Structure 1
Amino acid sequence: MSEGRQIKMITRQHPLEKILENRIAIIDGAMGTTIRTYDMKEADIRGERFKDAKKDLLNNGDLFSLTQPVMIGDIHRRFLEAGADIIETNTFGATSIAQSEFFVDDPREHGGRKDPEFYQKIIDNRMLSDLAWEINEQSSRQCREWADRVANQTGRQRFVAGAIGPLTVSLSNSPDADDPGFRVVTFDQVKTAYAEQVRALIAGGSDLLLVETIFDSLNAKAALVAIREVFDEDGLTAQGRELPIMISAAVGRGGETMISAQTVEAFWNAVEHANPLSVGLNCSLGPDLMYPFLEELSGKSSAAISAYPNAGLPNPLSPTGFDFQPEDMARYLGDFARGSLINIAGGCCGNTPEHIAAIAKALEGQAPRSLRRHTEVAA
């Protein structure tokens, strides 16, 4: 370069990457499952702010970050005290697209349909945009506060993962059997919604970005493109402040992503370009069914491997709604560790702080999967 400073590529490890080389890190459990143990009612999620909402909101768990922040903070605290190194923001559905399900009339109820024209109005809706930003930023700040508080108490650094869910729409499939080429939403619309979420998660203090529970790889691709564009447009690349990316897919009994039907190897090939800190599997399957697919991914990927399965099969008679107890999850994830498959372990649906505590205890002292990845950043 004739003028200006030279840019030299150096190897700079993120603090979490150093941990992953030396031990198995623990990620938290299921926010939704744990919220249900607090016996919240419709009035609790509405509060004064949303008291006049026309639709039921109780299943919109992300709103609790705004209306019941003390409860959400208590959940974060419990997961951290159970041994979690990584806690997730309460933002699984915190995009304008997902929030529209609770605040906008469904045109199908009036003879219409959801299509790109409908979703463009959603993207342009200032109320939904502002709400999505607020949920993401506030949830990230709540996580940050508790992660730092427990880290200071214990002398062990904790990390905040900005949770980016799969959305309520698919880019890969048509909902119309008579029009297989039809899509309800466009790639650019999904990317715009994700970019808004990413910026708010960063503003709130997230350490990592977690694209999770991926059932449609094209949706995930839109999220990854959005992340890349936010990094570039906001000048994060030049400042060396890019957040590490974690990616986790949901697969069915055959080992394929639920809608795009990619095998775990094909899925890895589709996301490898993002240079993720970790890639893994979560949700959908219990740990008893996940092992062979996790083994395949571990053999193909150069990234760290994460696994946070459901607590077995759904069971409405169980207190958590799922079959496996803490000791069951501990035993199965211990098998993952003994098979040298994982660097990050935790639980998805059905996993409470008690499950995470049992998993953390079972994996203590277990060697992580060999990790040879290093991140290059501009110096």
Structure 2
Amino acid sequence: MNWQNNLPGSLLKGRILILDGAMGTMIQRYTPSFPPGNQGNNDVLVLTQPDLILSIHKEYVQTGADIITTNTFNANAISQKDYGIQDQVYRMNFQAARLARQSGALLVAGSMGPTNKSASISPDMNRPEVRATDFATLVKAYREQARGLKEGGIDLFLVETVFDTLNAKAALFAISEEAPGIPVMLSATIADNSGRILSGQTIEAFLVSTAHSGLFSVGLNCSFGPDKMLPFIRILSRFAPGFTSAHPNAGLPDMFGKYTLSPDIMAQQVKAYVDEGLVNIIGGCCGTTPEHIEAVASMVRQNQAPLRRVTARGDESQVQKITLSGLEMLTVREEPAFLIAGERTNVSGSRKFARLIREKQYDQALEIARGMVRDGAHILDVNMDDPMLDAPTAMREFLFMLGSDPEVARVPLMLDSSRWEVLEAGLQCVQGKSIVNSISLKEGPGAFLRKAKLIKQYGAVPLVMAFDEQGQASTRERRIEICTRAFRMLVEQAGFEPHDIILDPNVLAVGTGMEEHRHFAVDFIDTVRYLKQNLKGALVIAGVSNLSFAFRGNETIREAMHAVFLYHAIAAGLDLAIVKPGAQPIYSEIPEPLRRAVEDVILDTDAGATSRLIEMAATINGPGQQEAGTVTREAWRDLDAEERLHHALAHGIEEYLEEDLEALCTTPAIDIVEHTLMEGMKRVG
């Protein structure tokens, strides 16, 4: 949503806005009395000592704050349950908003903290699949808080001090349900010098994971003083769409817990944010006072640096086709690129994985996921559709296991199921931006759009199967018809950007011996070419294993078919494929007779192609036969030095590297890099 023309947005076009400072620090200065059982519960003071809270708000307004935040950081049912007053949450938020409104502030922001529980981090290091709270509980708590703030009269929501993106996504979901017309400021807190939040995400991944909400601004708060926060604000400002904010601490606390950065020094350090044009909103967090805000406001007024430029999508040099995230950001840019979604974390595609999930041997199942990431999977496809499983529970538990393993959790996920309740269970467990595999027009446009809008609300990407009310598409014409219809509905009625749509035109089995199946592969490839040329921005995916179903049991033929199919589909524009990482032979290294036989079937060159491949398949893997597609070590070692390097690079063989490079000692190093090695890279793809 474009907030640039509403009141806050209009103000920010002309100047930097000043956010207030710490409420907790000021409450401590006045040493209030708390009700019995509520010692330290600052939020309850809006009910028991409203004059104190109002006076603090007014101090900040008088010293230059444009935006006053409500005293509601912990005013949610989850946090207030610790004090036994969770039934007072609505009253607290309503009253807090009214008090802030009475302060004379230009704008009032309703503060929503992260709660004291995490949806992504296990409270028990010995049980990584356990969570202290869940998405639905968080959404319920945040909805009640949002309702009180909205009805109390706020101008903005401020979801702040985010240490877990899944908690933040729950808050954003709740606001979209309860108060969709009110702008939202979002602010994360960095855990340490790594630049990640506590739940493990990088700043870039955090931005990707929350961009679906049409935020008014995104920023950083707490964490450090202004000087230590500066490099992270630079990263955020580069990638953030829309306005940016920063409200750092007054340095770091000393041994007595006091923040020691003086107002003047803080203003000097914040000046770099203004000089470099990094932020649109500046305030203070822990340890800051009206004196700090006055010094910062004075510095901003006197500064003549140009305002931060706001673009629709952040840094224009970062134009991409799609951006996904796990703990880290995965971006596909406009240059040719191809992504692999690992298929072995699918109970339908791996007997071993299915057995491990049924036996709840999650540690061993996790090792399969690790193996795929190490073998080059960019995305992990997770499917629990097994009649022997409670699929929603299995999906939740395994996703929590994945999320607790940094090696695996860094990559995005593809949530795969034929059942919507399983997909939604998965969406409520992932903090990153995932792919939902899949939705279709099978149940008509109403059900399709309802699911699509929920996918967007959860911050995910829809994968659309070429399937409608009439059934599955199996011809080029029907594939194009359904994909085009779905694409237009997603863009025009569900609000998706084209690059956030993935189309699956259905890979169907060839080589079955049935005449009507002959065109399936070549029609798919032609469909890919059409979709890439006509549905600009959309991505196209292939579930490759279906292609070779007729040759199940003969892995040599199957792998050759997959490699040849992908070679031609990628050339036509295919963006993603669901495959077993590292298992596909290199197209150019498939023995020529086998490659030609497979290619004839894939491209449907003539009526006898299937018969020839079936005859060849009967001779492969039989007694005394060497597998087709296999080049023995002795055979490739007889090639010349350049070809040996090509082969070693394609197959990851390091054993003979020194020997083969020595054989090229008379070749200039630049030629080895630009010709020999680059040719090998081309073969890898």
Using the size of structure 2 for normalisation, the TM-score is 0.44
Q: Report the 3-state secondary structure (helix = DSSP H, G, I; strand = E; otherwise coil) of the residue aligned with 2:103.
A: helix
- The one of 287, 292, 308 equivalent to 1:355 is 292
Matched, 1:136 2:136: no
- The one of 225, 240, 250 equivalent to 1:311 is 250
**5+ residue gaps, structure 1:** 1-8, 47-52, 104-126, 149-157, 237-241, 375-379
1:257–1:139 Cα change, 3 Å = farther
Match of 1:99 in 2: 80
Q: Is the 8 A contact 1:295 1:341 kept in 2?
A: yes
Code of the aligned partner of 1:203: E
- State the aligned residue count: 311
Match of 1:23 in 2: 15
Report 1:6-85 matches (<5 A).
13-40=5-32, 44-46=33-35, 53=36, 55=37, 57-85=38-66
After TM superposition, which residue ranges in structure 1, 4 or more long, deviate above 3 angstroms? 9-12, 255-258
C-alpha separation in 2, matches of 1:304 and 1:255: 24
- Cα deviations across residues 152-185 of structure 1 (Å, max 9, x unaligned)? xxxxxx0000000000000001111221101121
Q: Is the 8 A contact 2:191 2:198 kept in 1?
A: no
Q: Is the 8 A contact 2:203 2:235 kept in 1?
A: yes
C-alpha separation in 2, matches of 1:136 and 1:328: 34
Match of 1:162 in 2: 110
Match of 1:202 in 2: 150
1:137–1:11 Cα change, 3 Å = closer
C-alpha separation in 2, matches of 1:71 and 1:330: 27
**5+ residue gaps, structure 2:** 314-685
C-alpha separation in 1, matches of 2:216 and 2:255: 36
- Cα deviations across residues 81-108 of structure 1 (Å, max 9, x unaligned)? 11001000000000010001122xxxxx
Q: Report the 3-state secondary structure (helix = DSSP H, G, I; strand = E; otherwise coil) of the residue aligned with 1:147.
A: coil
Code of the aligned partner of 2:262: Q
Match of 2:655 in 1: none
Q: Report the 3-state secondary structure (helix = DSSP H, G, I; strand = E; otherwise coil) of the residue aligned with 2:219.
A: strand
Match of 2:670 in 1: none
Code of the aligned partner of 1:309: P
C-alpha separation in 2, matches of 1:182 and 1:11: 38
- Cα deviations across residues 29-82 of structure 1 (Å, max 9, x unaligned)? 000001111122xxx221xxxxxx4x3x22110011111111100000000011
Match of 2:382 in 1: none
Higher RCO, Cα 8 Å, sep 6+ = 1
Report 1:208-357 matches (<5 A).
208-231=156-179, 242-316=181-255, 321-357=258-294
Q: Is the 8 A contact 2:111 2:159 kept in 1?
A: yes
- Cα deviations across residues 341-371 of structure 1 (Å, max 9, x unaligned)? 0100010000000000000001114332112
Give the alignment's Cα RMSD to 1 decimal.
1.8
Of 284-293 and 347-356, more deviation after overlay is shown by 284-293
Code of the aligned partner of 1:176: D
Q: Is the 8 A contact 2:219 2:236 kept in 1?
A: yes
Shift of residue 188 of structure 1? 0.2
Match of 2:473 in 1: none
Match of 2:308 in 1: 369
Using the size of structure 1 for normalisation, the TM-score is 0.79
Larger gyration radius, structure 1 or structure 2:
2
C-alpha separation in 1, matches of 2:145 and 2:127: 31
C-alpha separation in 2, matches of 1:22 and 1:261: 36
Code of the aligned partner of 2:96: S
